[in-house]
Amino acid sequence: MLEAAEVGNKLDKKTFRKAAPKIRTALLAVQKRIANTPLAPVIVVGGAEGAGKGETISLLLEWMDTRGIETNVVWDPTDEERERPDYWRFWRLLPPRGKIGIFFGSWYTQPIVDRAFKRIDAATFERAMRRIRDFERMLTYETGPVLKFWLHLSREQERKRLKAFAKDPRLRWRLHKDAKKFFKHYDDFRPVDEEMLRLTNTGYAPWTVVEAADNEYRNLTVATTVLQTLEEAAAEAESRARAKRTRRPPALPKPKRANVLRNLNLTQKLSAKQYDKRLAAAQADVGRLTRKLAKRDRALLAIFEGPDAGGKGGAIRRLTGAMSPYIYRVIGIAAPTDEERAHPYLWRFWRNLPRHGRVTIYDRSWYGRVLVERLEGFARREEWQRAYDEINGFEEQITEGGVIVMKFWIAISADEQLKRFKDREVTPFKQYKITEEDWRNRAKWDAYEAAACDMIERTSTSVAPWTLVEGNDKHWARVKVVEAVRDRLCSEE
Amino acid sequence: MLEAAEVGNKLDKKTFRKAAPKIRTALLAVQKRIANTPLAPVIVVGGAEGAGKGETISLLLEWMDTRGIETNVVWDPTDEERERPDYWRFWRLLPPRGKIGIFFGSWYTQPIVDRAFKRIDAATFERAMRRIRDFERMLTYETGPVLKFWLHLSREQERKRLKAFAKDPRLRWRLHKDAKKFFKHYDDFRPVDEEMLRLTNTGYAPWTVVEAADNEYRNLTVATTVLQTLEEAAAEAESRARAKRTRRPPALPKPKRANVLRNLNLTQKLSAKQYDKRLAAAQADVGRLTRKLAKRDRALLAIFEGPDAGGKGGAIRRLTGAMSPYIYRVIGIAAPTDEERAHPYLWRFWRNLPRHGRVTIYDRSWYGRVLVERLEGFARREEWQRAYDEINGFEEQITEGGVIVMKFWIAISADEQLKRFKDREVTPFKQYKITEEDWRNRAKWDAYEAAACDMIERTSTSVAPWTLVEGNDKHWARVKVVEAVRDRLCSEE
């Protein structure tokens, strides 16, 4: 793809000056339209050192309303970033809906540099490219277009540019500190760039490779591509918004006769004596093992799902009771804030990822997407269907980043739930736990069971398997949870 | 104050066990009430090593609904924190309205340790205590009670505790890594603690000094104090919410005949030739000087206020035109997001503070509090009146943290504004800049002028003075802005 950008494209200054005001007006207009859509376009700018990445973006910023654009420079990670999975730093910089995010340095930088300097092999590089495809597909679905520009210079053009920059004291600072080093490896970078372009030039997020030697040609190409892409995206979003949303209740799934949940033996129980003994022993171990997380650059993320009144809160309390209050945080899923709604649905979980040494516990989690959001129709069919894959990818990434992921489904029978609901209504310090919504959810018991089975089937992965917990007996359930955490932490030692 | 907590207070286990369920139920109830108020109570836990800070909070967490509590441990700052003013790390951890934030280690830790080890002198320590008073007063006004517990052990009690902990492998980890070192300096810490308590035991945020040697006494004292304080705060917030808000339009201030704005000579202008020459020279300097910010551990924060159509955007563009797109960000003030509304009004500015080496430019700023919010009645009288002082404190703090603060008021005459409004309505690429609100604001011209004069008078400080810019001639204004930034950066060299 790069050779096609070494053909000598040029644009004379006069043509550029004539075209500029029109494009500028149109860019401002489309930016205003974007502000009223749920889109958050992302612009990635990559390419050769000295190719004019900064200049091009300066021009865009000059032409557009800067207040609606967030420019992000991603280079050396901070220590807060180093203590989180790789993509955390990109997630935290994603623009909110209505705004545009520009990335200099991006999810492409590290894999390309690592591969050019032979720090990673071809397979690892390909894997990184596949992760990029998944990420950009998710972004495209969730918040709209990902525009990618690769500003290309031939070897000879780059050599000339760097020389000119080095000579001129007013330009010298423009060179990245590693520019010279990178240029020495021009021939190592080129095939990597080609491979990267081939593997990530997807239909949903195609690359625009721009011949960068001529300033006017480069700037106009980028500006018009941005304009066209944003105009198309805005028009599409507007027509979607106009289309009357026939808010039909979604078809509720039915559970299979035999399924993983029905196969559970809910009659298992523990005596009070066994409970006390085993719980205390497991808690002591969990206390000891969680204190060691920091030294091992690991974190723990435990999530709890299951029917209302299944005993999630009680199990969580037994788990946190084992830990120092300094290291854990319990997050209950409430309605997302508007900042959270302004980002892809996994954003709120990325932003709350534990640092090394810390423990985060979710009372309900990202699986809401394929449970309540699916059943209540808050997520469209295509949204919850792709969510399984997105969630598996998310868990894989954070596992690689040092986060131990544990997922508990606490199962109870419908009869047991009814008994507990009634109990909650009469016990003073439990009343805060029962609401009308609980009764409404109960009416959809079968559908929840079916959705849960689908979920468990599709998201029980080797890195993050589900632990199914028989919950009719609280003693049994709590001990199973705390012992499971103990065993997992032991196995990770 | 500490001697009063060495009198041998004790509580027998039986009394404790009897009281516990009642307090627990009441805590859950009041927590639920808090969730429906605009309060965000903050609990600070300090005191001796081994005094049971963690145990006490563990108990509170066990008794309450953890999902509504955020526990924060503030010890060594991360590099992202080190590159920001001191209090940035506390601001980012403030709980949102409806939740409770617990702080182990807090704004007290650093000054106490520094003073005990004689790293700072008495005056510097007192200054730090005054800053704490201001911070806690602001918190109390904005988001409700600040509960402060000091768990005290006598020298002998602490010695015994540390010894017992050191002996028992199950308890040893509880000791902070510096516990021993700190105990050696018990006699250095004690007078500092006393002084701290004296200087920060304010009416709005009093200390509760708790004799900590007896677990039951300590835990019950903390729990009942938390309960009572939260109940009072909730009741007050509820009655405020019930009270019919007589939403009378606020009395609009009238400008003085002679004032700093009317004294400006708005006829000053620059020819196109002079403009081009001086602007280019100043921009080159600003470009060079801003690139050096990172090496000097400095950041730049420039804000622009003034009447609509005064030319803020144009001046900002000339300023950013001088800088690398990698380092600056322009933020236009829009309505706060709900997360921003859930925190004190300065929170949104704290969260967006530039890191070292970066430049943040605000198109309108925190001064909205004493301008539009004052005039439209969005802020109550007591809110905007205390804002002057809070803002001065904010700017002082961030200046100390390495942020160079520049404040521009771009003034134009009422006639000039009218001319520009009309021009905006007919020029295609300017139309996005004019709205009906602009016309509404214009009707309050005099009141805005008066509020602006009050503001300039009260917030022109030596660390962050206002630069008044004569804006009728755009050339003059832009050059004045860019040159002012150049001069300031030069003087900071």
Quick: pLDDT tens for B393-402. 999 999 999 9
B329·A70 Cβ contact <8 A = yes
Q: Is the pLDDT of residue A429 over 80?
A: no
The stretch A110-123 carries a mean pLDDT of 95
- pLDDT of the residue at B316: 96
Structure tokens at B114: 């520094």
The stretch A190-212 carries a mean pLDDT of 94
Q: Please report residues of A whose CB lies closer than 8 A to that of B291.
A: 173
Whole-number Å distance between alpha carbons of B391 and B371: 13
> B478: which residues sit within 8 A by CB, 6+ positions away?
B275, B279, B311, B314, B315, B318
A317·B32 Cβ contact <8 A = no
Q: Please report residues of A whose CB lies closer than 8 A to that of B174.
A: 324
Q: Residue B182: CA atoms inside 13 Å, Cβ hemisphere, count?
A: 20
The stretch A420-427 carries a mean pLDDT of 88
**Spatial contact of B86 and B401, defined as CB atoms under 8 Å apart:** yes
Q: Please report residues of A whose CB lies closer than 8 A to that of B283.
A: none
Whole-number Å distance between alpha carbons of A187 and A180: 13
Residue A56: closest CA among chain B residues belongs to which residue?
Answer: B325
A54·B326 Cβ contact <8 A = yes
Confidence of residue B441 (pLDDT cuts 50, 70, 90): confident
Whole-number Å distance between alpha carbons of B145 and B310: 42
Sign (positive or negative) of CA dihedral B88, B90, B93, B98:
negative
Structure tokens at A279: 């719980």
Q: Is the pLDDT of residue B51 over 80?
A: yes
Q: Return the residue in B320, B326, B333 with the most chain A beta carbons within 10 A, the one to mutate for interface testing.
A: B326
- pLDDT tens-digit profile of B96-148? 999 999 999 899 999 999 999 999 999 999 999 999 999 999 999 999 999 99
Nearest to B477 by CA among B264, B324, B331: B264
Tell me the three state secondary structure of residue A36.
coil
Tell me the three state secondary structure of residue A317.
helix
Judge whether B20 is closer than 8 Å to chain A, CB to CB.
Answer: no
Q: Is the pLDDT of residue A176 over 80?
A: no
Facing residue for A337 by CB, picked from B70, B332, B339: B339
Q: Is the pLDDT of residue B246 over 70?
A: no
Residue B33: closest CA among chain A residues belongs to which residue?
Answer: A432
Exposed, middle or buried, B250 (CB in 10 Å: 0-12/13-18/19+)? middle
**Spatial contact of A63 and A56, defined as CB atoms under 8 Å apart:** no
- pLDDT of the residue at A194: 94
Q: State the residue for tokens 């609509």.
A: B308
Whole-number Å distance between alpha carbons of A287 and B74: 21
Q: Is the pLDDT of residue A15 over 80?
A: yes
- pLDDT of the residue at A245: 65
* Strands, E assignment, B96-143: 100-104
Backbone angles phi, psi at A163, to 5 degrees: -65, -45
Sign (positive or negative) of CA dihedral A113, A117, A120, A122:
positive
- pLDDT tens-digit profile of A235-245? 999 998 888 66
- Sheet strand arrangement including B328-332: B328-332, B359-363, B299-305, B403-411, B466-470
- Which ranges in B144-246 belong to alpha helices (H)? 155-167, 179-184, 186-200, 215-242
ipTM above 0.85, yes or no: no
- pLDDT of the residue at B247: 65
B70·A432 Cβ contact <8 A = no
Q: State the residue for tokens 């617990």.
A: B102
Structure tokens at A111: 């894999």
Angle in degrees, 0-180, between the axes of helices B312-320 and B474-491, rounded to the nearest 10: 50
Q: State the residue for tokens 């008495």.
A: B122
Q: Is the pLDDT of residue A438 over 90?
A: no
Instruction: Give B 158-217 residues with CB within 8 A of chain A.
Output: 170, 173-174
B174·A324 Cβ contact <8 A = yes
Residues in chain A, total: 493
> B198: which residues sit within 8 A by CB, 6+ positions away?
B1
Structure tokens at B455: 């503001």
**Spatial contact of A367 and A452, defined as CB atoms under 8 Å apart:** no
* Strands, E assignment, A116-180: 146-152
- pLDDT of the residue at B245: 64
> A22: which residues sit within 8 A by CB, 6+ positions away?
none
Structure tokens at B280: 């280019």
> A473: which residues sit within 8 A by CB, 6+ positions away?
A268, A269, A270
First to last CA, chain B: 47
Residues in chain B, total: 493
- pLDDT of the residue at A433: 74
Whole-number Å distance between alpha carbons of A477 and A15: 74
- pLDDT tens-digit profile of B256-269? 888 999 999 999 99
Backbone angles phi, psi at B247, to 5 degrees: -80, 70
Whole-number Å distance between alpha carbons of A38 and A140: 12
B424-428 contacts at long range (C-beta below 8 A, 24 or more positions apart) = B424/B309, B428/A25
Structure tokens at B32: 């639920």
- pLDDT of the residue at A456: 96
Q: Please report residues of B whose CB lies closer than 8 A to that of A331.
A: 67
Whole-number Å distance between alpha carbons of B361 and B318: 12
Element containing residue A330 per DSSP (H, E): strand A328-332
Whole-number Å distance between alpha carbons of B306 and B362: 12
The mean pLDDT of chain A is: 92
